[in-house]
A and B are shown apart, each in its own frame.
Chain A
Amino acid sequence: MFARAAASVAVTITLATIVLATIVLATITLATIDGAAAQTANQPPDTMAARVEACTPCHGNKGEGTSDVYFPRLAGKPAGYLYNQLLAFRSGRRKYPPMNYLLEFLPDPYLEAMAEYFAGEHPPLPQPAPSEVSKDVLAQGELLATSGDASRNIPACVSCHGPGLAGMQPGIPGLLGLRANYISAQLGAWRYGTRTAKSPDCMQQVAGHLTEADVTAVAAWLATRPAPTNPAPVPKGTYALPFGCGSQPN
């Protein structure tokens, strides 16, 4: 260690000259920048848009989603719902390592601000994708979504997600503008326990009653729905839920 250091004295001297030159240069640049005014000019924009640039390659600039079918749209979903998701990702209760990692050391009020930011963006909903499944399967999906299947204890999706499937403030998301792969991945995650919501986790109960075939059908049908004229979630308390959900306090 010391021998190596001694041998490098010569190198260090040349380096020292370079360093000195750099310092002189740096001082000149600093001198030209001069003062607090320039300091602020040389700052990132003081906006949420600039702060969430870490999110937009996956979720789109306004939270509209990207071409990746597993990356969900965020725009326009109820802020309370988005906030619950951010809390769940931060603690690892909902798992997606790249996001668990990004959020790990961010405080609650900041996550709330991010949720509100994306909730307040309203880029147009995407065109519904043409479906790859048969008419029968789509019909089965429609039946589950709009009427459920009482004999198997499956409530209609609309009973919670709303007649227009636009969701309800503050905690129930709309189900439109999502792609089939994403929807079935989420229902699968609830069935296998990698996604959980606040207790009582009503979605876990719903997903627990669905078969693989039900999931394919309902996901496919939801993804073919055209965008409604008003995609905004309805106000809190517009309708009563069939049973309690921890994410939707009465």
Chain B
Amino acid sequence: MGSKLSTALISIKLLALAALTTAAQAQDKSNDIIARGEYLARAGDCTACHTAPEGRLFAGGRAMPTPFGTLYTSNITPDLDTGIGKWSADDFYKTMHSGRFPDGGLIYPAMPFASYTKVTRADSDAIFAYLRSIAPVSQKNKPHELRFPYDNRQLILGWRTLFFSEGEFKPDPKKSAEWNRGAYLVEGLGHCGMCHSPINALGGTSQSDAFKGGLIPMQNWYAPSLTSNREAGLGDWSIKDITDLLQTGVSMRGVVYGPMAEVVHNSLQYLNDEDTKAMAVYLKGIAEPSPPPPASSTLPTTESSLLISLGKTVYDKHCASCHGTQGEGKPPHWPPLANNQSIEMQSAVNPIRMVLNGGYPPGTKGNPMPYGMPPFAGLLSDNEIAAVVSYIRTAWGNRGTPVSAREANELRSAPLN
């Protein structure tokens, strides 16, 4: 009897213990999912759009200027009335995967669902679990200010027919697991194609042109092709240089700036070493051999040779102290300009803007106190800007083409934010 009782007691204790451990395990598991969701939300750079400057995390309200008017991002905190507090994981997956609101309404493609559609259900659920765990913020969504007829959401249907193919990422069995992981991140959560693909007149990017580069509308920055080694194709970069660039913003080959600095700052610097390496392997893999050099300059030869000799004078006076007399720089902090793809591309928008506006690479864990470049907009004339950019694009074996003072002048009014 006594022994029976004690066995019973022991088993009750054991049961309780088991219940406790399962509860604890469940707790651990949900914490794990939340942590993974946070990491994936970083990889998707949700904060870049859904957090306003000095605003509360994920409370939305950030203005996104587009050629069709201004969009305001949504509150995606779990607030019941103004956020997504009433959503289910199914609702959330529908947004990520199909670009539709819970009631079936169409979402503007400024929310990168055309990329997020590749995200797996498990990853979508993890991001949702994380979003449910953050502090709810009561903040009403601002109505979009789109011009007629773009304020009619039915128009999105046309866009979807042309440019949207729904479907989770399908690994390529012929490639390594690492390559596939990189592809999943770059094509899916990373939504790199949103900037790095040409945008056509309809505001869409077609699958066949994915990662072929393009001018970002409204921002006037050129996002180079990730497939052409003449642009930002990384075919001849070492894996270490690529991972350095993605994780720290600087590398022995070049630095990030403008919108790409934002991507590294808010998203890429938080990715772990394996994922960064996987992205590097994939990016190196999709780079194609160089297409032919760009058409020769439209400037008359006498004009361009005059420009280039003025350019050398400007360069020696204003630039050589950091970038070196031979364009060798002091990498990674003062980037090399010789053999730097980023300045030789057919589009000269980026180097002109660098000279006009200067810049700092993003402050990252790996490079918390970056060195900067001063803006020259106030110090140099249009002609001098054109001259020095023509010079760096053609000196030291660089294979770019000269640019005109008019191009320099036009970019003076490019928006800075």
Task: Point out residues on A near B: beta carbons under 8 Å.
Answer: 4-5, 7-8, 11-12, 15, 22, 26, 42-44, 50-58, 68, 91-93, 97-98, 100-107, 109-110, 113
Contact = CB atoms under 8 A, between A and B. Distances in A.
A91 B54 contact: yes
Given A4-B292, A56-B374, A91-B54, A101 B359 contact: yes
A11, A44, A55 — which one has the most chain B CB atoms within 10 A of its CB? A44
A92 B330 contact: no
A194 to B, nearest CB: 14
B65 interface: no
A11, A97, A105, A113 — which one has the most chain B CB atoms within 10 A of its CB? A105
Contacts of B360: 54, 102-103, 105-106
A214 to B, nearest CB: 31
Interface stretch (B79-87, B270-278, B363-371): B363-371
Given A102-B360, A107-B368, A12 B290 contact: yes
Contacts of B334: 44
Interface string B288-299: 011111000000
B71 interface: no
A91 B363 contact: no
B359 A102 contact: yes
A44 B416 contact: no
Task: Report the 6 A-B pairs with minimum CB-CB distance, sorted nearest first.
Answer: A54-B372, A8-B292, A105-B362, A101-B416, A97-B416, A105-B265
B1 interface: no
Given A51-B369, A101-B416, A8 B358 contact: no
Nearest to B361: A105
B357 interface: yes
Interface string B375-417: 1011100000000000000000100000000000000000011
B374 A113 contact: no
Contact of B416 (A12, A52, A100): A100
A91, A103, A104 — which one has the most chain B CB atoms within 10 A of its CB? A104
7 contacts: A8-B292, A44-B322, A54-B371, A92-B53, A102-B359, A105-B362, A109-B368
A113 B378 CA distance: 26
Given A44-B330, A110-B368, A105 B262 contact: yes
A51 B371 contact: yes
A93 B262 CA distance: 19
Nearest to B292: A8
Contacts of B291: 4-5, 8
Contact of B417 (A5, A56, A92, A106): A92
Nearest to A93: B54
Tier of interface size on chain B = 35 or more
A71 B398 CA distance: 37
A5 B371 contact: no
B196 interface: no
B339 interface: yes
Contacts of A8: 291-292
B26 interface: no
Contacts of A58: 374, 378
A22, A50, A68 — which one has the most chain B CB atoms within 10 A of its CB? A50
Interface in B290-318: 290-293
Contacts of B358: 54, 98, 102
A22, A97, A106 — which one has the most chain B CB atoms within 10 A of its CB? A106
B333 interface: yes
Contacts of A109: 368
A221 to B, nearest CB: 29
Contacts of B183: none
B261 interface: yes
B417 A12 contact: no
A50 B371 contact: yes
Contacts of A102: 358-360, 372, 375
B9 interface: no
B287 to A, nearest CB: 14
B373 interface: yes
Contacts of B333: 43-44
A105 B371 contact: no
A50 B322 CA distance: 10
Given A43-B330, A102-B375, 4 more contacts: A12-B292, A43-B333, A53-B371, A55-B372
Contacts of B368: 107, 109-110
B330 A53 contact: no
